[in-house]
Structures are given as C-alpha cells and as structure tokens.
Structure 1
C-alpha cells in the first residue's frame, strides 16, 4: 500500500521551508510556516476517516489550503471548476465532503464509497468537463510528476510562479505541485494576462515564471508582451495544445533576447500533467518538436499505427466512469496517447497527427488537426471538428477573416465539396476553462438554428451599399470595411428592412440582424450631429445665420468614427488596409473636385489640389483656406496610420485603447496652447494646431465606463473654451462633443431620420461643393444658396458612391479566383494554376 505521507511531500512537508514565502496575493504574503499551520488545521477539520472530498479548485488561498489538507490527510480529492460547474460530477459521484466558497460541507461522517488506498486525485479528462469520466491519479503519480517537472525546469526556492491557469486543470495544478515541492512561491491570482492588474502584481512580486496554453500567447501578443520589462522573469512554459512552430521560434528568440528560457511541453491529464519537454536551446531550430521524455519517463512508437505510447511513474491508475470505479487499483500500465508521432534523427519526438480525431466525410478520411495546421499557414486561426450529421466539417475561425476564403482553402486542401464545409467566423473561439478548444461548442455551431438565417437579400443589401461581392451571413459591417461614409446609408436602409437597430449593429454578423417590431423612432447622435454640423457650416458661410463651430465639431466626430470603425480587433495589416481605404475615400473625391474647380473655374492653386495649401500656400489671402478641414483630416489620418503601422504602437493601442488617444491629445495640447511660442515665427499647418480635437473624439469612441466619459468631458470643457476667442462658437463645439459622449441616440421620427441620414452621409461632399455654389446665389437669396449647396453636395455624393461601388465590384471580381463560382461551388477546388496544399487524405 502506498503511503500518502511518503508520496506527496509538497502536501505534508511545507514546514521544512519555514519563513520562505509560499503564497503571494494582492492582499499579502503567506509563508510556508503559515501555510503549514493552515493545512494542518484543514487536516484536523477533515478528520482521520478517509472520505471523498469534492473541491472547487479556484486560484485562491482557501482552495490551495483545502487541496493540500485533503492530500495530507489521505482523502481523495475530486477537483472541479468553481462556480457550480461541478454540479454534474457531484450528482454522479456523491462526495462525502464538499468544499467551496461557502466553506466545508461535511455530508457524512464516514465515506459512502469504497476508496482504493492509492487513490489521491480525480480530474476531468481534457475536453470532458461535466462528463462522469474521470482520471484516477495516485499519490505516487503526483509526486513523480512534480519531481520531474521541478528537475527539468530547474525550479529554485527563490522562484515565484504566477497561477495563469486554473488549479482544477492538470497543467495549472502541476505548477502548484512542482513549485511547492521545490519551496518556491506561487503568485496566486485569477487575473488574466490581458489584465494590467496581473502584470502589476507580477512585477511587484518579482515574478520569475508563468505558464500558458496557446490562447494565453494570443493574449500576450495583444497586450504587447514582447515590449514588457520583466527583469526577474526566468522561464515561461507552454503546453495544453499545439503552438504554431513559427510562434514557438519567435518566443524562444524573445526569451533569448531578454534572458529567460522558453519550455514547450507535451502532456495529458492521464499522465498527471507532463510527458515531454523541448529543451529551450532547441526551440528555435526544432520548433515543431515536442522534445524528449521527462525524467523517469519513456516513449515508444507502436509499429504499424505510429501511435505514441508513454510509460512512467506518472501514468494514471486508470479511468473512473462511476462511483464503483473508485475502488479499483491500477488498470493501465502504459498510456496510449492517441497521437501519431515520429522520432527525428536528433532524438526529438514530433507529433504528426491525432488518431482519435479522424473523421470520415463523404468517403474521405479527414484529420481536423491537419486542417487547423494548414489554415494556420494561411494566417487563419481556427478549430475544426466533424459535424453531428457525419456529412460535414465544422470550422470555427477567429475573425476578422473572410468565410468564403476559409471555405475555399479547406476545400482545396482536403478535397471536400464546399457544401460539406461549414465555416463560422467568431470574435473569440470557443474554449474550455482550461483554454483548450471546446469541440462540443464548435460542433453545436452546425446544429439547426431555432430561427432561419437572414434572407439572401440582406447580404445583397450589404454588397450594394459597400460595393463588394461574396458577402455571407458571417460578415459584419466593420469586417467588410465599412466606415463613417457608408455607415449612415447602411443604417438607414437596414432600419427600413429590420425596424429598430441595436447600437452595435455594425459589429454584429449579418446572421444576428433580425427584424424587430418597430417602436419609437430614434436617431443616432453621431448622425444627427453630422447633419447639423454641415448645415451650420453652409448656413453660416451663406450668411443665412451666424453659428460657427460646425467644422471643428466634424473634426472631433472624425476622431470618434476613426476609433469606432477602424480600431477593431482585426489584425494590424487588416486595420491598416481599412484605414488606408477610408483615407482614400476622403482624399480622392476631394482632389477630384478641387481639380475640376481649377480646370473649369480657375478657382484654386496647385497646393490646394495636392491638399498641401496649409504647408505651401500663401499665409494670408486667397481661397486655398477653403479646404483646411479636408487637409487637416487627411494629414491627421496619414500620421495616425503611420503610427499604427509600428507594431509597438499597435500593441499599445490594443492594450490601452482609451489611454493612447488621451496621450495623443495631451501631446496636441503643446500646439493648441503654443507652449513653445512657435506660431508667431513659424506657420503651423492646421493639422498640427488642431489634432488634439481629433484625439478627443477618438477617446470618446473608446470611453467604455462612466469614469472614462467623465475624463473625456473634462478634456472637452478644459481645452475647447478659449481656443477661438468666440464663446458662442466654442459653446457649439463643447455642446456637440459632450452630447456625443453621453447620449447614444435622440428621439426622432422616420422623416427626420431620412433627412439627417442623407445630410450626414453627404457631409464631406457638401463641404467640398458648397464653396462653388453659395457665392453665386447668396446675394439673391441666402436660403436658396443653402438649399442649392446641400442639393449639389448630395448629388456629388451620389455620383462618388456609384463610382466607388462599381470600382469595388470590379476589384472584388478581379480578386476572385478565375473559374470559381462562389462559396457553394465544388468546382472551385479544381481551378487550374492555383497553389495547392501538398497533402491529400486517403480514400477508404
């Protein structure tokens, strides 16, 4: 019989490390001596009679104490996720003791179960949370695996590892076991690595290590981990799924640059946690390998099948599928991993496929994992599973990505017809609490919907407004490259079809846009303000009234729309493409109109044509100043685009989406207040003097909390007054921007909505055109001059929109592979002359 006291030293030998820190939390530090006292109290609380303990394994001091106390008292632990996720397991296994946030609930004095002496821990198998199937682990399993991990990682007593993974997940639990075994400290937190508070705690605790699954490294890329200064970091570990080889090499190189080691590891719950690791010095040259067996373990590759088989003291006792199985001893001697592997000449093992995930679809044997790998080579992050019908492959791809492209890549790669590939583009891929793919949730995506998909004419409506082709229900307005110029037209036409639109309709997939019963009409504040601002501009210039400030209000709103439509979760390249396209939609029609005015009327000089009058035009006099607003907007967009093209700035914006525009605004205040007295000696272009206002609008778009909105409001109230020396003009700008910050929509009517939408959608073109219209009429009738200017601008907007849509369709047609017939065409996979993937599934 195995002695628990001898087998699990990390649970019973805590006092040996005396006053060294054991658990570091935001609330303070607990030493090993204090932890030993708390664990001892838990041992006494649970008593000497052996019972089955169900523990909600959150990353908390109480959970760690309960886990260690149960092990030290030789009580088998059924570890489940916190928050009620273990209710199904509790019902299936009827634990004697339940420990959760509410405390210790002793259900019976003696166990209702026959518990094998070696049984120490019960964990859900990977991907089966909620299933009654459990992995049975012994004290020897826990001890051996913790010792092996501590040995190859070189864990030292002065190490401090953050709990970046949940404790109920075997990988997260192995971090706890191995570091406590070595007398190292745990930085105990349930914060995500995407949370700034995590890194504050990690730095304050002088963290030396953290662990991650592939999704963790997605988050690290988003928060700019490569640029972080972490002076005490010694090693980073990765397991829980395949990390793309190029990302392995990149993080290994990053670690080499910054002085920490990157360990890629391979394991399964059935092996307690780890079976193999890739020595860090080989990660850059052999990033596709899983490495070598952990100390005390060994591999063999089964002849014929190529399946990887593991042996070692950390191999589980066996599975449990019902309470009676808790009495079983060892039922397996080695672990058949289910992975197909090969052994390289350098002695490193490499996984090449997965036996259990093969699916047969329409006679073809498909490996979903290989489909994921090949999509990854094309820059698409996706999870794939066989559908419930057995006749389709379900692909969940992380957006933004074109589902038509994904479907075509899959059909070309594995020979399936397009009708058998169901692509779903999601903002975030379904994952289990451990961060692993949730294959059941992905498979459920293909289940028949309770409601029918949106009608095809809704997709055609998007194609018509945005001048593109191949729109599917998985697309959204933002993913299709929509911007502020097309937003108004799109929202107006959608409202006619669907009724009331939700505020975030532009980010929702088309399939989620459903007809709703019409209620009270409302008008989005940004649309109303654009319509009012352009009328104020034209009316003031035509002397119908005198209410200035409309152009500066439009500039602030341009920043608002920039943050809203362009700074999405898309990748950096996709973002830059959208910003550049939006820039072109402003600059090209402007240059075209100014060029026509020069040729036909001789109205302007060449600096105006190049939108450089504020740099090269005359200081005073002339008509070049007419287009100062367009020039300022174009110049600001060019500079902001250049900034976001820098990877570090892109990462900074993703990590601090509200803070970055505030910082840019603060920088702009240098020229707003002319702190260096530059303007009298040097002619500062409009964009230099006014870009702080664009940044305020940008920050308003990213203000997601009440405090954010208060900060933006304070910035508006503190910087706009005094700028013009005209309180009335300043009041217009302040009122408009504050309304934009605090009020999402205004009460309206259908007629008002239609008029506002037309004016707002044509605001840029009205601004361009009115300079050539109102001077010819205002001396006759100011109202007529205003109406004629608005009508001419609306007509120019219609012309530009028609041309842009036609060019957009031609461009989409040119990008479409020759011979392809759309997303449902099986012939598209046989098009000649296209690059094809090199592997083919075998027919059976």
Structure 2
C-alpha cells in the first residue's frame, strides 16, 4: 500500500485507507466476481493511487456499489486527492457538477470498464490540505452546494461508529444503500476500519436474490432508511431465517416509534439488535444513536451523542418550552464547511459546530428527542432536499411553483393552464432529486398560496400535497404518477366511469379479469419500476415504487403472464409443426383455474361473483363464436356444433377440423360448472370457509374421470372438460395455497397426477409439471422491458391468436412453415387489438383465463398442443 512517505510532503490522507494491507488475507469485499482479500484490495488501491499521481487533483467519482468504484474511492482517500462523489444513476446531476466544479479527473463506468478521464496533469484549483471528500446534501439535484469533509472527519466518524456498534472483524455488512449517500458510505468506511467484510451489491431488500446473497455470504448486518422497513414488511422479513444476522441499523429519517418497537422486539426474539441513529451529511454521517436496550421503551428518541461528540440546545423564541431549542452538535466529524464554487475548495475550516436546523428536547433521562424542524430542508427517504433549489430548477424550465415537504413527501404547487403539466413537473422533480415518484406530489393551482404579507404560504403547499384520500394515510404518488392519475389509468384500461374509481379501489374490485390483467400489469410495472406482490388486490393508494429505482433496462415479469405467452407460442408452433413442444394447452387450463381464484373469488358478494363469472364466460365464448361464424361463411370446415361450442358433445367423430376449438369448449364448460356450484349459498359458504380445501376436494373428484374410475365410456369419447377439470381445480388450489406446506402439497398433487395422462409422451407431461411448479413457487421472473412488451402482447392476444391461426397458417405453410408461424402470431395480435377496442364498450369485469390460449386436443394427432 502507498505509504505516507510516498506522498508529497504535507499531503494528508485517511488512515484507514492507508492501512488496508494490515488486515492481511482476511476477506475485505465480496463483489460480483467473488471475494477479495485485504491484501488484494490494498494492491489494487495502491496501483490506482500511483496512476492518480502525487500531485493533488480534484477527482469526480461516479459512485456505484462496485469494486472498481470502491477502489478509486479508497485510492483517492489514501493518496490525498480530494474526491467529489456523485450519484451514478443521474447523468444530468453528474454533468451539472462537472460543469460547476471542472474536476481534474473524472472516474466513471464506460460500457463494462471503468475509465479515468485525466483532463489535466495538475489541478486547476487551489485545494486545501485538509479537504478529503465533497458530498451533496440535496439528493441528486446537481446542486453546486457541497459539504466539505476532511480526512479527520472521515476517520473519526468511522472510528466512532465502529465503537458504538461494536463492529468486529468477523462482521459482514451488505450495501443496502448507495455509496454516494453518506449513510451508505459510512457503512463501508466503518467496516473496512475494523477489518470486516463488505458485501458489495446494488440489489434491493425487496429482491429475493438479495437475501440469497446475504445468507450465502453469512451476512451479519445491513442498514436501512424508513422505506427499507416498509419493504421488509412486504417480503416477510419477520419469517426469514438469517442465522448470522447480528444487528440492523436505521437512519435517513424518522422511523415511526411503533415500527421501532416492533423491529426491536423482532430482534430480541431472533437474536439481533436494532440501532436507530440520527445524522446529517454535515456531520460526515452520524451524530446520535439510540442504545438498542432503549428501543422498546424510548422508540421516539434520537438518543445520545456518538463517542467524541456532544449536543447543546440553542434557545429559540418560537420554541419557549423548557429544555427545548435548536439542536447544535460539536465533534471531530463536523464538516469544514460548505462549498458553492470551485474557489471554496481552498478554504479551511469555516464551521466549528453544526446547527442542525432540527428542534430538539432534552428529556430527564438524558436523551434527545426531535420535535420539529427550523429550516426549509426536508429529509425524504434519506435524501436531504432543498425546496429552494427545486423551485429554482423548475423556474429554469419555465414553471412557476412553490415547494415544501415533510418526512414523507415533497409537495409542489404550480400554476399552469393545463392539468396535464402535473406529470411533466413530477418527472422533472423526480429526475433532478433522485426521489421515487410516490414521494413527489404535484398539484396544479390557479394561484400559488400566499400569506397576507404576500410571502409564500408553505404550510398551505404542504396541505395541498396531502394524499387526496384522507381516510387512507400513505405515501401518496405512485409509480411516476399521482394516485389520481393511476385512478384514471385503471378507469381507462378497465373501461369504468372515472368517478367510480377511487384510491381505495383495487383491480379486482373494479372487475379486472385476465383480459385486462396483462395490460394493466405491464402499465403498472412500467410506472412503478416493479410489480408489487398481490397488486391486483392492493388499493391504488398503496401501490408504491421500490426504494431505489432499478436500472431502466431491468424489469420483472409475472410468471403467469410469461407462462401464458410461452404456452401460446408452443401451441401454435406445434400445430404448424415448426417444433414439437407440447403441453401448453393443458398448462393453460391450470392457469385458468389460478386466475379464476385470484380474480373471481376475492369479491365478497355471492351475486357479484356469479355475475362476473358469467361475464367472463361471455368474453370467452362470444369472440370465439363470432370468428367461427365468419369462417362458416367462407368454407365448410366447421359445423353448427362448432358454432355453438358443442362439438365435443354433438360433433361428428370423423371430422378433421371439428376439434380445433376443444380448449375453448372445455374452458367454457368448466366455468359454467363453477358458476353453477358457487351460485349455491352452501357451496359459496364452503368456499369462503375452506378456500384451499374446497378446490383440492374438487380436484380429487375430477381425478375420478381422469383415471376412468366412474365406468364411463372410453376417455376419448367424452367431453374434454370432464377429463381435464382436475387441472383447472389444481390451479385454483395453487392460487389459494398461502403457505409453503400448502404449496408443497399442491405441487406434489400435480407431480403425482399428470404423469400417465399422455401415455408415451413423458416430455409433454414434464412441461406441464414444470410450468405448474414455476407458477406455484416463483411469482415473478427477471426480465427486460422489450421482453415484457413482447410477452404481454403474446399473453393478452393468446385467445385471438389461437382462434385465427387455424385459418391463417394453411394459406402460407406450403411456402414456409416458419413464415406461417410468424403470420399466425402477427394476425392474431392484430385481430386482438381490434376486438379489444370493440370490447371496451361491453360489460366489464370478469376474469379467469380469457386471454389465455387454447390448444389442440389430446385425441387428435394434428391438433395436439
């Protein structure tokens, strides 16, 4: 490692960055490419430090939770080069700071490699000897106002944090926060100081891959801002087995006292501790912490000063209460001061203590409680936002607005002649500030609220930003749109009057079905950046984006949608004999039962259930009958039995084309049987009391004809709906399997009953079982935006692709089967687009598997799927 003697005389550095090699062969970092020892890390840091040179230069580093970025960061700290650390996911903010500070070196990723753009060999700036790091306090606005931190600030804060957390060299900390954020950076610094391990990742705690990584790396700790704990609730953190977890830290904003108590209790029961902390970038990271043993009894307190620091209260006339005032912090971690221009980089210390802007109360037990805020700065999801900077940014875009906020969201009141401007304003603010859209609430007003004095009325602005549905406090805007805009989207896709859609509405309550499910899920995934679990039964007001937005190319695709798309692809391909992947149609029957349970059986009213199922039957049968009647006018391939969807009952046995629509017939018959059963009050009550047991019982009954146990004629001579009904019922049970034990049971049932259904064709049976298991155990699949669009198009058009392909491919297959395959898909999608537009005006709301495709019949060689 670069030794102090290798630096120019007078050059200062951060001690822990110089001492990496002292930890030897201990694991320093677990990165994407594998573990890296301290000795190896020190060598890489040394090589980069030598490349940076001995002459101090201002280095702008585009931050990322990667090994390359960490090496550049440590090399700058070790060799004395001042570092400007900027967020890597906001190119506009990066360019803004490059323009404002004209760095001598820019380190950023380029394709798959990191590059050092050395813009000049010596610095163009006067750099104070104490200056080590520059961080923004205003999120990702690209504001030129930066915090100037010294080498002593970084070292002392890392030592203090390591002391009160009791960090050991055996600890392994996952990077749940970005490196450019002072809280996330402090996790890295304090663990490297103690020779512990850093698990470098940019995965969200909402991602199952994160927890797989955490467990496999024997993670002992992770950090979270308040929204992190919302995500933990959603992913079932309380039921996770994390045998090595030792402590969890929280900062970046106030965590509700009830949540503090709940997670503290969970920690006690599970063998780990919760550290609630308070800090600001101006104090390098931390100023106070709440001892874990007090979390249960004093969850509202900020705690005590960190080792080496101290607090005092500055009296304020507007806060006359005893032992209350503005919280002022002093300690070796207090910043040198602010920088507004490159000329400020040559300044020394201009700040001796930190006036936090927070109003605090000193309690009799020696703890400090935050009771208010003096300044206009707000901290949202761990980011300190300057509303004045946001107002100035909007002014540059020609928008007159006032901004105010609290711990949950930033409210923006703007004047505009068009209400549609709200979406544009929200996008500008979220892009500039790095906030998720749910944390930016835009209201278009005729006049900006003013006090009698003519000054802005920021309290009124905050009130304008409150969620419209006062009965449902929540985070507000969702997924790139205000909740009211999401309501409009639901109304459009579900063809409901706008006034009927409220923030308390859900997809299911509005009558969403499998026809609209794919389209709605893709729109939501695009707007939210992910698809929340059980979104179809989640009120609109509760739909939220992830804590950190995934890269624009990264998406998730719901497994049921993916299976529908793949199934229709395989069905059509096997019919045209492009390939022989069969089993798609029977998997679609299980999907039909799965969606039937998710959509139809969540509404409370029995009559409404019945009505919706009948509407679904109509939305499957009517388009099918319309197409068949059209074909009847052109040729004699079909009969009136086909038109009435009764071929499996009355159709001629020697017909070569009559059974083309066996799947549709089976699905319609099954839905009619289901509505007949659930229309009975007793059966309806049984379903509500035994939502999992009833479909399993029905599946068991359906196995009687599947195994020819009823003494019925040969299986090939009875309607397919009777012999395949058990698959539908298993899908129904899968949707109601809420525990791992129940999912295991329904998976085992499929594994035991599918084999033997197609004698001599184990490949088809394997595809059905594999697809069913995927549906049961994997709710979403990693994907890309283009893949989602294609899969959504295929899944939502599957019924119409199936209906039309029988007439399309014979016209072309003599020339090219592959072209016939493609033409069948394209024509079906085009036909689906036309039909969907026409059906927008029909009664809405049902559900099951309408747009999930049909397929060939097991009794016909030509039509096998």
Q: C-alpha distance in 2, partners of 1:293/1:196?
A: 36
Which residue matches 1:14?
Answer: 20
CA contact (8 A) 2:613 2:846 kept: no
Q: Work out whether 1:239 is the aligned partner of 2:251.
A: yes
- Given candidates 88, 93, 97, the residue that maps to 2:101 is 93
C-alpha change, 1:663 and 1:22, in structure 2 (3 Å) is farther
Q: Which moved more, 1:77-86 or 1:752-761?
A: 752-761
Alignment of 1:387 onto 2:413: yes
Written as runs of structure 1 = structure 2, the 5 A alignment for 1:213-292 is 213-292=225-304
Map 1:370-519 → 2, pairs under 5 A: 372=408, 383-388=409-414, 420-421=464-465, 423=467, 470-471=500-501, 478=507, 480-484=509-513, 504=522
Alignment of 1:71-110 (within 5 A): 71-82=77-88, 84=91, 85-101=93-109, 102-110=114-122
Q: Is the 8 A contact 2:280 2:287 kept in 1?
A: yes
The match for 1:167 is 179
Q: Secondary structure at the match of 1:284?
A: coil
Alignment check: 8 A CA contact 1:8 1:140 kept: yes
Q: Does 1:746 align with 2:829?
A: yes
The answer on whether the counterparts of 1:353 and 1:367 sit within 8 Å (CA) in structure 2 is: no
2:814 aligned partner: none
The 8 Å contact of residues 204 and 210 in structure 2, kept in 1 or not, is answered as yes
Displacement of 1:155 after TM fit?
Answer: 0.8
Q: Distance in 2 between matches of 1:559 and 1:744?
A: 28
Q: Does 1:559 align with 2:588?
A: no
Residue of structure 2 in register with 1:369 after alignment? 406
User: In the superposition, relative to structure 1, how do residues 267 and 745 fare at CA in structure 2: closer, same or farther (>3 Å)?
Assistant: farther
Cα separation, 1, equivalents of 2:347 and 2:607? 66
- Once residues 208 and 248 of structure 1 are traced to their aligned partners in structure 2, the CA distance between those partners, rounded to angstroms, is 19
SS state at 1:353 partner = strand
Once residues 462 and 776 of structure 2 are traced to their aligned partners in structure 1, the CA distance between those partners, rounded to angstroms, is: 41
Match of 2:339 in 1: 320
CA distance in 1, matches of 2:185, 2:584: 60
Alignment of structure 1 residues 524-543 onto 2, 5 Å: none
Q: Are the aligned partners of 1:563 and 1:698 in contact in 2 as well (CA < 8 Å)?
A: no
1:670 matched to 2:752? The reply is yes
Cα gap change, 1:366 to 1:100, in 2 (>3 Å): closer
- Deviation string for 1:330-364 (max 9, x for gaps)? 1111111122222222222222222234999xxxx
Residue 294 of structure 1 and its aligned partner are, at CA, apart by 0.5
C-alpha displacement at 1:237, in angstroms? 1.0
Report if aligned partners of 1:424, 1:445 keep a CA contact under 8 Å in 2. no
Counterpart position of 2:639:
none
Aligned to 1:811: none
Aligned-residue offset at 1:582: 7.8
Note the C-alpha offset of 1:319. Answer: 0.4
Superposed CA offset, 1:212-251 (max 9, x none): 2223223333333222222222111111122222222222
Say if 1:320 and 1:633 are closer, same or farther in 2 by CA, change over 3 A.
same
CA-CA distance at 1:484 after TM superposition: 2.1
Report deviation, 1:315. 0.7
Offset of residue 139 of structure 1:
0.9
Residue in 2 that maps onto 1:654: none
Shift of 1:207: 1.9
Superposed displacement of residue 26, structure 1: 3.5
Partners of 1:342 and 1:3 lie apart in 2 by 47
Q: 1:386 to 1:554 in 2, by over 3 A?
A: closer
| C-alpha distance after superposition, 1:732-768 (max 9, x if no partner) | xxxxxx99x9999534289966998999979999x9x
Deviation at 1:270, TM superposition (A): 0.5
Distance verdict in 2 for CA 1:559–1:581, change over 3 Å: farther
Q: Residue 39 and residue 674 in structure 1: after superposition, are their counterparts in 2 closer, same or farther (change >3 A)?
A: same
What does 1:548-587 align with in structure 2 at a 5 Å threshold? 555-559=589-593, 561-562=595-596
Per-residue CA deviations over 1:399-435 (Å, capped at 9, x if unaligned) read 999x9xxxxxxxxxx997999457589xxx99xxxxx
Q: Does 1:36 align with 2:42?
A: yes
Contact 1:240–1:266 (Cα < 8 Å) also in 2: yes
Structure 1 residues not aligned, in runs of 5+: 373-382, 404-413, 431-436, 492-500, 512-523, 531-548, 567-574, 650-659, 676-689, 713-737, 768-844
Alignment partner, residue 156 of structure 2: 144
Q: Superposed, which structure 2 residues align to 1:331-370 within 5 Å?
A: 331-357=350-376, 368-369=405-406
Q: 1:628 to 1:638 in 2, by over 3 A?
A: same
Question: For residues 166 and 351 of structure 1, what CA distance do their matches in structure 2 show?
Answer: 26
Output the CA distance in 1 between the equivalents of 2:217 and 2:490: 52
Q: Distance in 2 between matches of 1:15 and 1:418?
A: 52
Q: CA deviation at 1:131?
A: 0.9
1:61 aligned residue:
67
Q: Could you tell me how far 1:325 is from its partner in structure 2?
A: 0.5
Q: Is the Cα contact below 8 Å between 2:593 and 2:728 reproduced in 1?
A: no
Relative to structure 1, is the Cα distance of residues 185 and 633 closer, same or farther in structure 2, using a 3 angstrom cutoff?
A: closer
Question: Which residue, 20, 25, 31 being the options, matches 1:25?
Answer: 31
Q: Distance in 2 between matches of 1:300 and 1:37?
A: 44
CA–CA distance in 2 between the matches of 1:327 and 1:43? Answer: 22
Counterparts of 2:187 and 2:597, CA distance in 1: 40
Kindly indicate whether the alpha-carbon contact (under 8 Å) linking 1:560 and 1:700 is maintained by their aligned counterparts in 2. no
The 8 Å contact of residues 4 and 71 in structure 1, kept in 2 or not, is answered as no
List runs of 5+ in structure 2 lacking aligned partners: 1-7, 320-324, 379-386, 389-401, 442-457, 528-539, 542-561, 569-582, 618-671, 688-693, 713-718, 758-767, 792-820, 851-865
SS of 2:364 mapped into structure 1: coil
Q: 2: distance between equivalents of 1:553 and 1:35?
A: 51
For residue 308 of structure 1, the aligned residue among 308, 327, 330 is: 327
Deviation of 1:674 (Å): 9.7
Deviations 1:760-786 (A, max 9, x none): 979999x9xxxxxxxxxxxxxxxxxxx
Report the Cα distance in structure 2 between the residues aligned to 1:54 and 1:348, rounded to whole angstroms.
39
Residues 1:218 and 1:584: Cα distance change in structure 2 (over 3 Å): farther
TM-score of the pair, normalised by structure 2: 0.57
CA distance in 2, matches of 1:417, 1:98: 40
Q: How does 1:196-211 map to 2 (within 5 A)?
A: 196-211=208-223
8 Å CA contact 1:97–1:106 kept in 2: the answer is: yes
3-state SS of paired residue (1:219):
helix
TM value normalised by structure 1: 0.58
- Evaluate the alpha carbon distance shift between residue 347 and residue 565 of structure 1 in structure 2; reply closer, same or farther with a 3 A threshold: farther
Out of 184, 193, 204, which is 2:205 matched to? 193
